[in-house]
Amino acid sequence: MRVTLHFHGYRYFPYERRWALRETETLFGQNPSVQGGVIQIDVPDERLPLLQRLTYFAKAVTESGEVVVPDQAKWEASANGGKLGAANSSVSRQPTRYSLHGLHEYKGRFNPQVVRAIGNLLRLEPGSRVLDPFCGSGTVLLEAAHLGWDALGVDLNPLAVMIANAKVDLFHSQSDELMAHLEAVLVRVGELAEVLGDCEAGFNSQTRATLRAAGLSQPLPGRGYLERWFPMDVLAQFQAVLGLIDDVPDGTARTALVACLSNLVRDVSLQDPGDLRIRRRKDPSDNYPALLLFAEQLTKLLSCLRSAAPLKGSAPTGTRQLAVHTDSRSPTGLIQAAALVTSDDSLFDAAITSPPYASALPYVDTQRLSLVLLGFADADDIYAMGRGLVGTREITTTQRREFEIAIESNQAEFPRVVQEFLADLLRGVRDADVGFRRRNRPALLYKYLLDMRSAFEAAHACLKQGSAWALVVGTNRTRLEGREIIIPTPDLLAGVAATAGFAVERIEPLDTYPRYGMHSANSINSESLVVLRAI
């Protein structure tokens, strides 16, 4: 049957339009006809239901006049008050916070549309098993819930694991009882907010007593550390919120509420919330309205749950998605985590991830306040936690010197193209007058590639032979004496993966906007899709 496909009215990246056409070829086994912006394709009758899987089209119109709105378009519309993003609509920007993707901000994640599109291009079906070795806040896991994949995500950041599990648990547990628990907390928060008044200058003794009573003198972990980074009255508001959360009997609701609280922590701290590093505000206040912001977060969550509820019925049931706190570089840890999702020693059909970037993001620094406030880490452990992550920015002088020796001797036996780039970068920083960050760059990049090879090797043991691993990763850049040096991370990772049991199928540039605005001097200004095959 002849079908006409319509794009949304919002702006697309060029790669999204390319992928849209490739999706149609993959799903329907036919090449689309593109003339004057009109896209038509002949779809066999038995494949017409696959129109629901399309990622980038607003609607499909059959020659008989039937209009099919893909599931993805419906999810995006749920984030726009129900307005579908067709060409004649007022929707001008691609929604990426639909469903529960907006529960908690998380630096460095990729658009959820990318996950669905990659799944289509890899021919994944409902019931497929998918691995995300660097799951972050759970973009792949939540999309897996939408699409009916069993999925495992692992991450070394316990806060990320909590957020990821909160998303999928909420998706699967949107009961009247859950909504009632969340709404009851919102009412209690509103009652407390009424006694705050103008809190900018701080609370009076009566208000503080009210907050203490609401929180039942809830103890805060790492109190001494937190007092250095929050006004005392903000901590009192945290105690009140945590006390209310502690009274909620439903575990899914409690985790969701904790995620809502975590999402506002930086905004009410003495740290500059727009800076990824640890820097204090230039104009700190004596207090910030944490309770009111928490109420806003919770109101937004309730709205998202109500908007998504009608669409849940279209998602396949009986699947499981789980985030586990473990190290993706550990074969034993990964295999043990996999057993929690798969059964009968089943292997994964594919892996999809956006891995960490080499020393580009201070993940733990960005989230350290939530980690301490919520008891995920002691303040004294923050530095060590950050140093242990893949893509860390931290390294000792002794480690740096050891890695530099290893680069010169190619101790890791990296492929020639990888070794030559590392050696050239090392010579460049030695010959230049640079600060310690750039001086550390060759050693940190070497460590990153070592860690990623360990992750490739560990994942290989959990993937079926011939299965694909799709990575979305960008280039980095640095400067040496006024000269810009591009670090081709996608190519370097592909070279390393080829030594860890994978064949490189393709590296496809993705034309995107730079990330990490205020750090644009070192931003990731281009990304690529790297597709590997387990051999």
Position 201 scores a pLDDT of: 62
Tell me, yes or no, whether 296 and 180 share the same domain. yes
Would residue 459 count as lying in a domain? no
Would residue 108 count as lying in a domain? no
Residue ending a domain, among 309, 344, 371, is: 309
Q: Note the pLDDT tens digit of each residue in 94-132.
A: 999 999 999 999 987 889 999 999 999 999 999 999 999
User: CA quadruple 159, 449, 428, 431: dihedral positive or negative?
Assistant: positive
pLDDT above 70 for 87: no
pLDDT above 90 for 433: no
Q: Ranked by mean pLDDT, which of 29-33, 138-142, 269-273 comes out on top?
A: 138-142
Position 132 scores a pLDDT of: 98
pLDDT above 90 for 46: yes
pLDDT above 90 for 432: no
Would residue 31 count as lying in a domain? yes
Tell me, yes or no, whether 293 and 181 share the same domain. yes
Would residue 257 count as lying in a domain? yes
Q: Which domain holds residue 31?
A: 2-78
Position 351 scores a pLDDT of: 98
3-state secondary structure of 127: coil
Would residue 437 count as lying in a domain? no
State the angle between helix axes of 416-431 and 436-460 in degrees (0 to 180), rounded to the nearest 10: 160
Give all strands of the β-sheet with 348-353 in edge-to-edge order.
321-325, 150-155, 129-132, 348-353, 463-474, 527-534, 502-510
CA distance 400 to 402: 5
Residue ending a domain, among 248, 283, 309, is: 309
DSSP letters spanning 283-321: S--S---HHHHHHHHHHHHHHHHHHHGGGGGGS--S--E
Position 519 scores a pLDDT of: 39
pLDDT above 80 for 524: no
Nearest to 197 by CA among 186, 188, 187, 208: 208
Would residue 118 count as lying in a domain? no
Provide, for the chain, the percentages of residues in helix, strand and coil under a 3-state DSSP scheme, each rounded to the nearest 5. 45, 15, 35
Q: Note the pLDDT tens digit of each residue in 469-522.
A: 999 998 888 877 778 889 999 999 999 999 999 999 999 999 865 444 333 444
pLDDT above 80 for 228: yes
Least confident of 46-55, 65-74, 314-323, 367-376: 314-323
Position 360 scores a pLDDT of: 64
How many domains is the chain partitioned into structurally?
A: 2
Position 445 scores a pLDDT of: 95
Nearest to 162 by CA among 255, 247, 251: 255
What band does 254 get if pLDDT is binned at 50, 70 and 90?
A: very high
CA distance 234 to 137: 26
Position 495 scores a pLDDT of: 97
Position 99 scores a pLDDT of: 94
Would residue 12 count as lying in a domain? yes
Q: Note the pLDDT tens digit of each residue in 284-335.
A: 988 899 999 999 999 999 999 999 888 887 778 888 999 999 999 999 999 9
Position 397 scores a pLDDT of: 93
CA distance 396 to 444: 10
Would residue 10 count as lying in a domain? yes
Share of the chain above pLDDT 90, in %: 70
For residue 65, the number of C-alpha atoms closer than 13 Å in the C-beta half-sphere is 0
User: What's the mean pLDDT when you consider all of the chain?
Assistant: 90
Tell me, yes or no, whether 73 and 180 share the same domain. no
Q: Note the pLDDT tens digit of each residue in 509-523.
A: 998 654 443 334 445
* Strand ranges inside 296-452, DSSP E: 321-325, 348-353
Position 354 scores a pLDDT of: 95
CATH code for the domain of 70? 3.30.70
Residue ending a domain, among 284, 309, 334, is: 309
Position 344 scores a pLDDT of: 62
User: CA quadruple 236, 239, 241, 243: dihedral positive or negative?
Assistant: negative
C-beta atoms surrounding 27 within 10 Å: 18
Q: What is the DSSP letter of 89?
A: S
